[in-house]
Structure 1
């Protein structure tokens, strides 16, 4: 992942997308192939090379219409073609802080 200020550090090793937050409500949004933004991860433009990631990020930053803090993030593509966040940070960012944890993590349960 990278921020616009660190574009030189873009190194992707798998499918990635450009994501940001919408300025008027803070919602997580994704850059589409049609040079727009969507709040649906499935609409995101997938990039697989550093050059494509740089180009999509530069386009997103130059756009500056309703998005702030654009950066490149990894995604996973299921066998059925569904796009999922590629790491825990993006899962939390997309779904909020309520995520399922393994039951047997060894922590005491407080009631």
Structure 2
């Protein structure tokens, strides 16, 4: 398996680094100050491969706080709000796509 840092990074627009928090699996985003946040609005935005690679390297090094770090596309609307850039990230941000029924 190829390490995320060894894969070719292709950035086609604004992107963030995302992962899952190790102790509860919650989706988290890498911030500009080297921390993590559950709020996409706090995420560091990268637009080129080298800064993306550096942010990803920092995230991968934090294997105690987060797992499965990778670069994800985002969009920035006219109001400056950061929104997920693809269906996978929309699902990760909002949760389940089906309603759960109560078990009897």
Q: TM-score, normalised by structure 2?
A: 0.87
* Cα distance between partner residues in 2 of 1:59 and 1:76: 23
> Residue 4 of structure 2 contacts residue 70 of structure 2 at CA under 8 Å; is this kept in 1?
no
Structure 2 distance, partners of 1:38, 1:50, is 22
Which structure has greater helix proportion? Answer: 1
Q: Determine whether 1:71 maps to 2:67.
A: no
Instruction: Output aligned runs, 1:7-86, within 5 Å.
Output: 7=5, 8-86=7-85
Note the residue ranges of structure 1 that are not aligned, 5 or more in a row: 100-111
Q: Which runs of 4+ in 1 moved over 3 A?
A: none
Q: Which has the larger radius of gyration?
A: 1
Cα distance between partner residues in 1 of 2:62 and 2:92: 22
Q: Distance in 1 between matches of 2:25 and 2:38?
A: 11
Task: Look up the SS of the partner of 2:74 in the other structure.
Answer: strand
Q: CA deviation at 1:65?
A: 3.4
TM-score, structure 1 normalization: 0.81
Unaligned runs of 5+ in 2: 99-104
